[in-house]
């Protein structure tokens, strides 16, 4: 299990690195960022000052390195729209995000429980619902769903679904 957790953690780091590259490159794919950030009627002196102030006059790899270094140290930069720390904006909106995640998790648990009841009834018959073995199966299934960080289908030794329930019914 420790090897599994380490492998998944390394995969997560790789995915975050690739996503940071894609987002960073995406800013330049839509055009020159300075054209979006300053007034179109700005003269050449103002443009050059803004480019130097934002560090856009440096090579891309230097810009990305500064971005990555800052991100690893908790500095996600400043919002151009709100002129404040990007991390501050994220933390300000965190309660609403957590509320949405909690509601989504509760809906998933309720639907998972209903699906477990329906599947057990269809595959094993109504008499199995009085069995404590079925209740244990439902509790374990819901507990796995509640973890959120570990998908049910990829737990070591878990095949997901109701195949174990069906084997116990017969």
What pLDDT, in 10s, does the model give residues 30-75? 777 777 778 888 888 888 888 888 888 888 889 899 988 988 888 8
Which residues are CB-neighbours of 33 under 8 A, at least 6 positions away?
27, 54, 56
pLDDT attached to residue 167: 40
Which residues are CB-neighbours of 80 under 8 A, at least 6 positions away?
37
All residue ranges of the chain with pLDDT < 70 are: 113-170
Given a contact cutoff of 8 angstroms between Cβ atoms, the answer to whether 119 and 162 are in contact is yes
Residue 39: which region, alpha, beta or left (left: phi > 0; alpha: psi -120 to 50)?
A: beta
Q: What is the pTM of this model?
A: 0.53
Closest CA to 124 of 170, 71, 87, 80: 170
Cα–Cα distance for residue pair 131/111, rounded to 1 Å: 21
Helix (H, G, I), strand (E, B) or coil at 93: coil
pLDDT attached to residue 19: 92
Closest CA to 93 of 17, 85, 20, 72: 85
Given a contact cutoff of 8 angstroms between Cβ atoms, the answer to whether 169 and 124 are in contact is yes
């Amino acid at each position: 299990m420790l090897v599994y957790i380490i492998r998944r953690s390394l995969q997560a780091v790789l995915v975050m690195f690739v996503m940071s590259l894609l987002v960073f490159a995406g800013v330049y794919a839509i055009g020159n960022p300075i054209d979006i950030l300053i007034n179109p009627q700005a003269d050449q002196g103002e443009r050059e000052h803004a480019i130097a102030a934002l560090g856009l006059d440096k090579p891309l790899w230097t810009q990305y390195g500064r971005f990555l270094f800052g991100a690893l140290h908790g500095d996600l930069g400043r919002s151009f729209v709100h002129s404040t720390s990007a991390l501050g904006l994220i933390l300000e909106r965190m309660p609403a995000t957590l509320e949405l995640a909690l509601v989504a998790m509760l809906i998933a648990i309720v639907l998972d429980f209903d699906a477990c009841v329906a599947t057990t009834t269809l595959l094993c018959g109504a008499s199995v619902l009085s069995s404590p073995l079925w209740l244990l199966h439902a509790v374990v299934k819901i507990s796995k769903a509640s973890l959120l960080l570990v998908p049910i289908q990829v737990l070591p030794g878990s095949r997901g679904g109701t195949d174990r329930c069906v084997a116990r019914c017969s």
